[in-house]
Amino acid sequence: MSSPKLLSPYRRKFQWLTSLAILLIPWIQPGGISLLRIDVPTLSLQLFGQVLRIEELFLFLLFCLAFGISFLLITLVSGRVWCGWACPQTTLNDLAEWFAGKMKLRIVGNRLQGGLWRKALAQLFYLALAALVAANLLWYFIAPQRFLAELITAELHTGVMLTFVVLALLIYLDLAFVRRLMCKEFCPYGRIQTSLVDPGTLTLHLPESEQERCIRCNSCVRSCPMEIDIRDGYQVECINCGRCLDACRSVMHKRQQPGLIHYTFGVDNLGPKALLNLRTLLLSLALVVLLTLLGVAIVNRPQATLKIAVSHTAGSRLLKDGQQATFFNAWLNNRTTEHATYRLTARGSDGAALTIKGQTTDLKLQGGENRKLDFVLVSPAVRQPTMIEFVLFDQLQRELDLAAAQLTPVAATKED
- CB 83 to ligand SF4: min, Å: 8
**For residue 366, which phi and psi values (nearest 5 degrees)?**
-75, 165
In one letter, which amino acid is 108? V
Select 247 or 377, whichever has its Cβ closest to ligand SF4: 247
Select 242 or 368, whichever has its Cβ closest to ligand SF4: 242
Sign, Cα dihedral of 273, 278, 282, 285: positive
- CB 237 to ligand SF4: min, Å: 7
- CB 81 to ligand SF4: min, Å: 9
Select 238 or 330, whichever has its Cβ closest to ligand SF4: 238
CA-CA distances (angstroms) from residue 250 to 4, 130, 211, 356?
6, 34, 17, 81
Distance CA 103, CA 92 (A): 16
- CB 263 to ligand SF4: min, Å: 9
**For residue 190, which phi and psi values (nearest 5 degrees)?**
-60, -40
- CB 226 to ligand SF4: min, Å: 4
Select 8 or 323, whichever has its Cβ closest to ligand SF4: 8
- CB 251 to ligand SF4: min, Å: 5
CA-CA distances (angstroms) from residue 126 to 24, 172, 275?
20, 6, 40
Select 88 or 348, whichever has its Cβ closest to ligand SF4: 88
Residues of this chain that bind ligand SF4 (CB under 6 A): 84, 204, 206, 214-220, 223-224, 226, 228, 230-231, 238-244, 247-248, 251, 260-261
Distance CA 339, CA 106 (A): 58
Select 110 or 395, whichever has its Cβ closest to ligand SF4: 110
Could you tell me whether strands 340-347 and 386-394 are parallel, antiparallel, or unpaired per DSSP bridges? antiparallel
Contact 84, 242 (CB under 8 A): yes
Select 207 or 272, whichever has its Cβ closest to ligand SF4: 207
- CB 272 to ligand SF4: min, Å: 20
